[in-house]
């Protein structure tokens, strides 16, 4: 019915087609690698001074990593530098958000805060039992 173990009828050159498709896949893979290298070079040209500084630091520190990891750290250094600079720029806003949340926490009565936490657990829980267990552990360990 499915033709497992049978030779395809009327397709004697199936093996040749498979070899051609495998070489096409390899060629496509090589082309994708070349495109990613070009994109990386373009990205390096548009890096800010801070990103260049962080990339150099990551590349220098990759020498102390195990050889297997060091190779990948050097390749990922531009992306890691971009992520670091982005986080560095977002950090003050994160601190302001945390201060705002703390001010709201101090302003709200305890019962309303507990009700809001319950509402978050109900609608945004995701892993409901895990969230409840984490909330209980937080409450039991000193709130």
User: Whose CA is closest to 76, among 60, 64, 58?
Assistant: 58
Q: Which residue has the higher pLDDT, 2 or 114?
A: 114
Distance of CA 35 to the CA centre of its chain: 21
What's the CA gap between 142 and 49, in Å, rounded? 45
Percent of the chain with pLDDT over 70: 78
Number of other residues whose CB lies within 10 A of the CB of residue 38: 10
Of the pLDDT bands very low, low, confident and very high (cuts 50, 70, 90), residue 90 is very high
* Confidence (pLDDT) at 60: 84
Residues 6+ apart with CB under 8 A from 107: none
Q: pTM of the predicted model, to two decimals?
A: 0.49
């Amino acid at each position: 019915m499915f033709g497992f173990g049978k030779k395809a009828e009327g397709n004697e050159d199936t093996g040749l087609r498979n070899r051609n498709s495998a070489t096409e896949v390899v060629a496509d893979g090589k082309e994708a690698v070349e495109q990613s290298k070009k994109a990386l070079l373009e990205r390096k040209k548009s890096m800010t001074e801070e990103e260049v500084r962080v990339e150099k630091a990551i590349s220098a520190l990759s020498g102390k990593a195990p050889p297997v990891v060091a190779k990948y750290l050097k390749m990922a250094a531009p992306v890691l530098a971009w992520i670091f600079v982005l986080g560095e720029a977002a950090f003050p806003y994160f601190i302001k958000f945390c201060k705002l949340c703390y001010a709201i926490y101090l302003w709200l009565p305890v019962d309303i805060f507990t009700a809001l936490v319950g509402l978050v657990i109900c609608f945004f829980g995701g892993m409901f039992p895990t969230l409840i267990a984490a909330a209980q552990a937080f409450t039991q360990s000193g709130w």
